[in-house]
Amino acid sequence: MELMEMAKLVGLAIKESEEGKRAEEMKKAYEEDEKIVALTTEFDVQQKALAAMVGNENADNNLTEAIQARLSEIYEEVLATEVYKAYEAAQKDLGRLIDKVNSVIMGQVSGNVEGCTHDCSSCSGCH
């Protein structure tokens, strides 16, 4: 089997893993959450307004500060939602899985399998 085909199979296996499915599910929930969509839309509008003011010597400093404050508020509101927290956790879990897979691959390439004591109780899987 060609190397790139094997890589595709690994990618598909990751996508079909529990972590991959959860990450995709949480991504969809995040993208479809009404509150997050509304906040993201407002964030974009506020950001465009701020960008229009940057470099304009006639810009109202109070308004600029108010927009910056609102952008921070929106950002914090998004981070505080349960949907975002679940999305972030799922992405971290997927990242950890990918890191493990990469570690196994690099161990095989280098011949240096980290943490391998040939005692199955010391690791989460064989190389």
| Per-residue model confidence as pLDDT tens digits over 65-120 | 999 999 999 999 999 999 999 999 999 999 999 999 999 999 999 888 766 555 55
Higher pLDDT, 113 or 20: 20
Q: With beta carbons less than 8 A apart as the criterion, state whether 87 and 110 touch.
A: no
DSSP 124: S
- Select from 101, 127, 103 the least CA-distant residue to 12: 101
Task: Measure the CA–CA gap between 78 and 103, rounded to whole angstroms.
Answer: 33
